[in-house]
């Protein structure tokens, strides 16, 4: 096992370019289709979803509510002919134009931490929707370190060049240190992305994220359902967060170059985003989620801060570490097979 230590290295632009898209997609999909539980005869209403972050253009997904078992449930719910606007710190309303490729409305403004963002939309068919959020200040990562553990997987086989051999499994365990500001109530989300020609996986196994799970979920389930948490138990403290990535190493890494990069982010998220994620987790995960799915428990509502209309207007600010593992993992490969 090898140990590595690093000072904080934030690179928001790299993260924004390719790693954050999965988080945005999850937000848009879940809130457009499952934001609330309408009555069957209730008319469709306008839905707006926003996840604003510093240095990125303000965008909004504008759609309409729908009933999942409708015979037309696979049609697009995006409303491309709405009027959308945003306001910064209660200033003048700025127009948002529809981006046909990404099916969302975009303003020309890039917010900074502390900005108060309001977004509103109007549709002749579905009515009005409006929500607001305040961009949080990113809590910086003080330092981070990692260790690499590897072993040959004798139960697995890879066929290359006319030869069968066992793959090498490498686990990269991270320790990420940050200090929670004592003056505010803070909320966090951990997200990761791995660029790898190898097989890979990542997971947060830190006990702090289990604060959102019931005791019975902890007994019967091995994996955590969410990677978000509050500062309830670490108020004003310096905390070391644990997570790991897994890589399957083979000779493709030699042939295709530097493809193994772990990008991990500690997001400081707005309270409304935390409440939204918490409501989704409780509704669709764990024992409660299973009972509700089979009609054995009363349905839970999903948090909404849009009124009029439905949806979620939230924000976040990332602190990012980027770790190029190519040389280290390929040395492990060469030590075993060359």
The helix/strand/coil state of 271 is helix
Q: Is residue 275 in some structural domain?
A: no
- Are residues 236 and 125 part of one domain? no
Specify the number of domains making up the chain: 2
Best-predicted range by mean pLDDT (160-164, 210-214, 292-296): 160-164
User: What confidence score (pLDDT) does residue 126 get?
Assistant: 95
> Could you tell me which residue, 162 or 220, shows the higher pLDDT?
162
- Are residues 142 and 125 part of one domain? no
User: What confidence score (pLDDT) does residue 24 get?
Assistant: 42
Best-predicted range by mean pLDDT (83-97, 163-177, 224-238): 83-97
The percent of residues in the chain predicted with pLDDT above 90, rounded, is: 49
Residue 10 scores a pLDDT above 60? no
pLDDT bin (cut points 50, 70, 90) of residue 144 is very high
Find all residues with CB under 8 Å of 70, minimum gap 6, and list them: none
The percent of residues in the chain predicted with pLDDT above 70, rounded, is: 69
36-88 pLDDT, tens digit per residue, is: 444 556 788 999 999 999 999 999 999 998 766 555 555 678 999 999 999 99
Q: Is residue 297 in some structural domain?
A: no
pTM over 0.85: no
- Are residues 228 and 182 part of one domain? yes
Q: What value does the mean pLDDT of the chain take?
A: 79
Residue 29 scores a pLDDT above 60? no
| Contact present, 198 and 252 (Cβ < 8 Å) | yes
Cα of 136 vs its chain's centroid, Å: 16
User: What confidence score (pLDDT) does residue 291 get?
Assistant: 45
- Are residues 122 and 223 part of one domain? no
**Which of 86-90, 202-206, 268-272 shows the lowest mean pLDDT across its residues?**
202-206
Q: Is residue 285 in some structural domain?
A: no
Q: Angle at CA 86, nearest 5°, toward 80 and 89?
A: 170
| Contact present, 244 and 227 (Cβ < 8 Å) | no
Best-predicted range by mean pLDDT (114-118, 211-215, 282-286): 114-118
Percentages of the chain per state (helix, strand, coil), in multiples of 5: 20, 40, 40
CA distance 222 to 210: 11
DSSP character string of 28-78: HHHHHHHS----TTSPP-EEEEEEE-TTS--EEEEEE---TTSTTTTS--B
Alpha carbons within 13 angstroms on the beta-carbon side of residue 197 total: 16
Report the run of H or E that residue 23 belongs to, with start and end: helix 21-34
Tokens of 123: 């549709």
Residue 219 scores a pLDDT above 70? no
- Fill in the DSSP letter of residue 100: T
Q: Is residue 293 in some structural domain?
A: no
- Are residues 227 and 123 part of one domain? no
Q: Is residue 296 in some structural domain?
A: no
**Which of 109-113, 148-152, 163-167 shows the lowest mean pLDDT across its residues?**
163-167
Q: Is residue 284 in some structural domain?
A: no
- Fill in the DSSP letter of residue 232: T
Please report how the helices 286-293 and 271-284 are oriented relative to each other, as an axis angle in degrees rounded to 10: 60
User: What confidence score (pLDDT) does residue 22 get?
Assistant: 34
CA distance 120 to 173: 43
- Are residues 331 and 187 part of one domain? yes
- Are residues 229 and 201 part of one domain? yes
- Are residues 326 and 186 part of one domain? yes
222-269 pLDDT, tens digit per residue, is: 444 458 999 999 999 999 999 998 888 765 544 444 567 888 999 999
| Contact present, 91 and 58 (Cβ < 8 Å) | no
Q: Is residue 103 in some structural domain?
A: yes
pLDDT bin (cut points 50, 70, 90) of residue 2 is low
Q: Is residue 274 in some structural domain?
A: no
User: What confidence score (pLDDT) does residue 317 get?
Assistant: 96
Query: Which domain covers residue 117, as residue numbers?
Result: 13-136+304-315
Residue 135 Cα distances to 114, 118, 158, 274, 321, angstroms: 5, 11, 47, 13, 21
């Amino acid at each position: 096992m090898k140990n590595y230590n690093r000072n904080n290295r934030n690179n928001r632009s790299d993260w924004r370019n390719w790693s954050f898209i999965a988080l945005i997609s999850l937000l848009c999909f879940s809130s457009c289709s499952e934001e609330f539980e309408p009555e069957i005869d209730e008319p469709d209403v306008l839905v707006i979803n926003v996840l604003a972050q510093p240095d990125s253009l303000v965008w909004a997904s504008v759609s309409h509510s729908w009933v999942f078992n409708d015979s037309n449930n696979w049609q697009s719910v995006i409303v491309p002919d709405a009027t959308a606007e945003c306001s910064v710190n209660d200033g003048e309303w700025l127009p948002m134009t529809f981006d046909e490729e990404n099916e969302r409305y975009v303003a020309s403004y890039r917010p900074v931490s502390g900005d108060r963002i309001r977004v509103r939309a109007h549709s002749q068919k579905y009515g009005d929707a409006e929500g607001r959020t305040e961009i949080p200040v990113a809590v910086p990562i003080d330092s981070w370190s990692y260790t690499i553990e590897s072993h040959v997987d004798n139960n697995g086989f890879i066929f290359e060049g006319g030869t069968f051999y066992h793959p090498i499994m490498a686990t990269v365990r991270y320790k990420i240190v940050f200090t929670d500001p004592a003056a505010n109530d803070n909320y966090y989300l951990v997200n990761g992305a791995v660029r790898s020609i190898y097989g890979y996986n990542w997971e947060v196994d830190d006990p702090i994220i289990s604060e959102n799970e019931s005791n019975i979920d902890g007994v019967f389930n091995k994996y955590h359902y969410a990677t978000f948490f509050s500062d309830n138990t670490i108020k004003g403290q310096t905390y070391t967060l644990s997570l790991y990535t897994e890589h399957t190493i083979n000779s493709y890494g030699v042939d295709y170059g530097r493809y193994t990069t772990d990008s991990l982010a500690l997001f400081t998220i707005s309270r409304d985003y935390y409440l939204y994620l918490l409501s989704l987790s409780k509704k669709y995960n764990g024992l409660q989620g299973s009972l509700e799915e089979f009609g054995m428990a009363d349905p839970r509502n999903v948090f909404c801060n849009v009124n009029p209309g439905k949806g979620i207007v939230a924000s976040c600010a990332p602190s990012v570490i980027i770790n190029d593992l190519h040389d280290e993992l390929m040395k492990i490969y060469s030590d075993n097979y060359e």
